[in-house]
Amino acid sequence: MTSTATKPVSALLYRSRRLRLGSLLTLPLVWLVGLYIVSLALLLATAFWRVDPFTSKVTPAFQFDAFEQLLSNQAYLSTSLRTLGIALTVTLLSAAFAIPLGIYMAKIASPWMRGFLAVAITLPLWAGYLVKILAMRVTFTEEGFFNSFFGVLGISGPGFSQPTVVLTLTYLWFPYMALPVYTAIRQIPVNLFDASADLGARGWTTVRTVVMPLLMPALIAGSVFTFSLSLGDYIAAELVGGRTQMIGSIIANNINLNPPVAAAFAFVPVAFVVLYLLGTRRTGALERM
Amino acid sequence: MLRLTRGARVALGAIVAVVLVFMYVPLMLVIVNSFNAARIPSWPIQEFSLRWWGAAFANEALWTAVGNSVIVGLGAMVIALLLGTLAAFALQRFDFFGKQTVNLLIVLPIALPGVVTGVAFSNTYNNILEPIGIQLGYLGMIVAHATFCIVMVFNNVFARLRRMSPSMQEASMDLGASLWQTFRLVTFPQFRTAFVAGALLAFALSFDELVVTIFTAPAGVDTLPLWIFNQMSRPNEATQVNVIATLLILLSFIPVYVSQRLTRAEEDER
């Protein structure tokens, strides 16, 4: 009883579950809802506002002009589709390299090599976003390494173009695909491989019929990262894409000139990501992330 | 065992080699180019020099930007540590209506594209707060960074709490310790490594963030990524960027080393 008298706060909290939960949740919720969700809601509201074409000043209204432009403007539409295509290509490319890498690491490499490769894939994650984009710039610039190195063979590089954007985004997000895929392959019980071999399956058949189905959850989990990170990016397009534009470029270019259009466009990648998540949710892969 | 033909093994090995070349040759080119005397990253390098290293170290704007990045990173880290730890305790120790929603709320700022988060904050700052006389300025940048850093601390602390038994804390309370004493002497030491890992990740995430910063940095204030970005956007990119990028590549060994030490420390604790 003495503790109740001398430690009133502790005692009060100890008695009331609601008070304990409240004292833990209030600050994070005030921050996330009060600052972030309110900001997102205000941004969505801005999409319906009216903009003065001369001063770029917005006034509260309820009109669908911005959304109409989004659908009717050919350039906007093709940019959305291009961005979607880039994000899907990056995802497929990452998976295409992550699977053989994972199989090699888990099934062929020696323990030392396995450890080395695990660190080697993780290390670039820390090297910094712009550092990696700079690395791609240095590699593919007009008089840079790629053109000079492969020029001997008569091959000229992609320069700063859409393929370079795809390569750069793959470069940036590949580890997010490679790590879950490798982990998943390692977790496949060894006797499954033995059984497959005993039943007469060759290596390729085993990979196709045993490894691939068990790999789906990891591939989907990885693809959520590669897909949504690529979809929202526009810095790569700006720095290595030449004239390539992505959804983010339109948002960034319009935020001061035409805020309603920028606001409406901000919800395009969000819609794509939500649709993608809903599509993958049925597989149950996300619960394991 | 997975039975693969010799050819298949060689093919797989070749793919791994391609991946490693693709990952590391560009980074090495950055390092080598920081010693390139030329103004553009031309290859092969004609003349090596320390010219850009000297210029970078003498560049005050660059070091001011580094200072800003450190301040913003530390600010965001402290806020994220507080909010992320509170949220982790709430979601780990209690069952309540809307738990999934709170979880989603924490992940959302990092799940949505940076440009959406950045534009949302800048819209609030410029079109809502500024007209009513509130200028967040520098603080606005820290607020935005902290928002997407919360999840880093949350994830780490939450995962650790799940493995911790609450009986030690109950024992401590039964012995008459106050809530704060119990937290300080019993609970905190048990999740300290997760707390440090979360802090490190939050700082690193903020230190590297460009897009949200573009939209929320006050005029005339550069963080390091913003400075690099502005340099790279110019047609004749200043070669000092290669120098700072080289330093960042070398610095990236630290978190990898620390995380390996932390995992080892964790294994020792168990």
Res A3: pLDDT: 46
List CB contacts (< 8 A) between B178 and chain A: 3, 7, 9-10
- The mean pLDDT of B18-38, rounded to a whole number, is 91
Q: Tell if the CB–CB gap between A32 and B105 is shorter than 8 Å.
A: yes
CB of B125 within 8 A of CB of B147?
Answer: no
Would the pLDDT of A289 be above 60?
no
The parent domain of residue B191 ranges over 61-269
Which of B115, B208, B214 to mutate against chain A (most A CBs within 10 Å)?
B115
**Taking CB atoms and an 8 Å limit, are A270 and B116 in contact across chains?**
yes
Q: Give a yes or no: residue B31 inside a domain.
A: no
- Shortest distance between the Cα of A243 and any Cα of chain B, in A, equals 13
Structure tokens at B132: 């009513």
Q: What residues 119-178 of chain A have any CB closer than 8 A to a CB of chain B?
A: 119-124, 126-139, 141, 143-145, 147-149, 171, 174
Is pLDDT above 70 for A186? yes
* Better pLDDT: B19 or A193: B19
Residues 6+ apart with CB under 8 A from B266: B193
Average pLDDT value for residue range A31-46: 92
Q: Is residue B9 part of a domain?
A: no
Q: How many CB pairs under 8 A join A and B?
A: 271
Chain A residues touching B27 at Cβ < 8 A = 124, 127, 131-132, 135
pLDDT bucket at A4, cuts 50 / 70 / 90: very low
B230-256 average pLDDT score? 84
Do B26 and A228 lie within an 8 Å CB cutoff?
no
Q: Give me chain B's average pLDDT, please.
A: 88
Per CB-CB distance under 8 Å, the chain A contacts of B87 are 24-25, 28
Reported as a pLDDT band with limits 50, 70 and 90, residue B236 is: low
Question: Residue B177: which pLDDT band, with cuts at 50, 70 and 90?
Answer: confident
Q: Which residue of B has its CA nearest to A210?
A: B2
Contact across the interface for A202 and B26, Cβ inside 8 Å: no
Contact A123 B42 (CB under 8 A): no
Among chain A residues, CA nearest to B144: A36
Query: Could you give the number of structural domains in chain B?
Result: 1
Domain harbouring B107, CATH code: 1.10.3720.10
Confidence of residue A160 (pLDDT cuts 50, 70, 90): confident
B9–A108 C-beta distance less than 8 A: yes
Could you write out the DSSP letters of every residue in chain B? -----HHHHHHHHHHHHHHHHHHHHHHHHHHHHTTB-SSS--SS-S-B-SHHHHHHHH-HHHHHHHHHHHHHHHHHHHHHHHHHHHHHHHHHH---TTHHHHHHHHHHHHHS-HHHHHHHHHHIIIIIITTTT---THHHHHHHHHHHHHHHHHHHHHHHHHHS-THHHHHHHHTT--HHHHIIIIIHHHHHHHHHHHHHHHHHHHHH--HHHHHHSPTT---HHHHHHHHHHSSS--THHHHHHHHHHHHTHHHHHHHHHHHHHHHHH-
Quick check: A200 pLDDT over 90? no
Q: Are the beta carbons of A135 and B29 separated by less than 8 Å? A: yes
Give the amino acid at B31: I
Please tell me the least confidently modeled range out of A128-137, A208-217, A276-285: A276-285
All structural domains of chain A? 66-288 (1.10.3720.10)
Position of tokens 């002009």? A65
Q: Are A285 and A223 spatial neighbours (Cβ–Cβ below 8 Å)?
A: no
> Which residues of A fall within a CB distance of 8 Å from B213?
none
pLDDT of residue B237: 60
Cα angle vertex B92, ends B91, B93, to 5°? 100
To test the contact with chain B by mutation, choose from A19, A107, A130 the residue with the greatest count of B C-beta atoms within 10 A, namely: A130
Q: Which residue of B has its CA nearest to A236?
A: B229
Give the least confident one: A71-75, A160-164, A210-214, B266-270.
B266-270
pLDDT bucket at A2, cuts 50 / 70 / 90: very low
Does B106 contact A28 at a Cβ distance shorter than 8 Å?
Answer: yes
Minimum CA–CA partner of A59 in chain B: B127
Does the distance separating the beta carbons of A174 and B179 come in below 8 Å? no
B201 interaction partners in chain A (CB closer than 8 Å): none
Give A99-144 pLDDT, tens digit per residue: 999 999 998 889 889 988 988 988 888 888 999 999 999 899 888 8
Residue B55 lies in a domain: no
How far off is chain B from A24, nearest CA to CA, in Å?
Answer: 5
Between chains, do A251 and B89 touch, taking CB under 8 Å as contact?
no
DSSP letter string over chain A? -HHHHH-HHHHHHHH-HHHHHHHHHHHHHHHIIIIIIHHHHHHHHHTTSEE-TTT--EE-----HHHHHHHH-HHHHHHHHHHHHHHHHHHHHHHHHHHHHHHIIIIIS-HHHHHHHHHHHHGGGGS-HHHHHHHHHHHHSTTSHHHHHHHTTT-----SSHHHHHHHHHHHHHHHHHHHHHHHHHHS-HHHHHHHHHTT--HHHHIIIIIHHHHHHHHHHHHHHHHHHHHH--HHHHHHSTT---HHHHHHHHTTT-HHHHHHHHHHHHHHHHHHHHHHHTTT-GGG-
Q: With left for phi above 0 and alpha for psi between -120 and 50, is residue B209 left, alpha or beta?
A: beta
Task: Kindly state the tokens that stand for B252.
Answer: 């990236």
Residue B176 falls in which region: left (phi positive, over 0), alpha (psi -120 to 50) or beta: left
Chain B interface, best mutation among A12, A134, A258, by max B CB count within 10 A: A134
Min Cα distance A68 → chain B (Å) is 20
Please, what's the b/e burial string for B167-193 (b: 16 or more CB within 10 A of its CB; e: otherwise)? Answer: eebeebbeeebbbeebeeebbeebbeb
A259-272 tens-digit pLDDT: 889 999 998 888 88
Return the closest-CA partner of residue A247 out of B116, B106, B255.
B116
Band of the pLDDT at A191, cuts 50, 70, 90? confident
Mean pLDDT confidence for A161-177: 94
- How far apart, in whole angstroms, are the C-alpha atoms of residue A215 and residue A224? 14
Distance, in angstroms, between A74 CA and closest chain B CA?
22
What tens digit of pLDDT does each residue of B114-169 get? 999 999 999 999 888 888 888 888 899 999 999 999 999 999 999 888 888 888 88
- Own/partner long-range contacts of A22-29 (Cβ < 8 Å, ≥24 apart): A24/B86, A24/B87, A24/B89, A24/B90, A24/B93, A24/B94, A25/B86, A25/B87, A25/B90, A25/B102, A27/B82, A27/B83, A27/B86, A28/B83, A28/B84, A28/B86, A28/B87, A28/B90, A28/B102, A28/B106, A28/B150, A29/B102, A29/B105
Lowest-pLDDT range of A199-213, A257-271, B239-253 = A199-213
Residue-wise pLDDT tens digits, B60-96: 999 999 999 999 999 999 999 999 999 999 998 888 8
Nearest CA to A46 among A272, A270, A266? Answer: A266
A197: confidence class by pLDDT, cuts 50, 70, 90? confident
Residue B198 lies in a domain: yes
Q: Which of A36, A55, A179, A255 to mutate to test the interface with B (most CBs of B within 10 A)?
A: A36
Taking contacts as CB-CB distances below 8 angstroms, the residues of chain A near B124 are 35, 38-39, 42-43
Instruction: Please tell me which of A62-71, A196-205, A248-257 the model is most confident about, judged by mean pLDDT.
Output: A248-257
Is B150 inside a domain boundary? yes
Amino acid at B65: A
pLDDT at residue A19, rounded to an integer: 85
ipTM of the complex: 0.89
**Residue B41 within a domain:** no
Q: Are A259 and A46 in contact (CB under 8 A)?
A: yes
Whether A48 contacts chain B with CB within 8 A: no
Locus of tokens 């030449």: A242
Q: Does pLDDT of B7 surpass 80?
A: yes
Contact residues, chain B, for A166 at CB < 8 Å: none
Chain B residues close to A14, C-beta within 8 Å: 173, 179
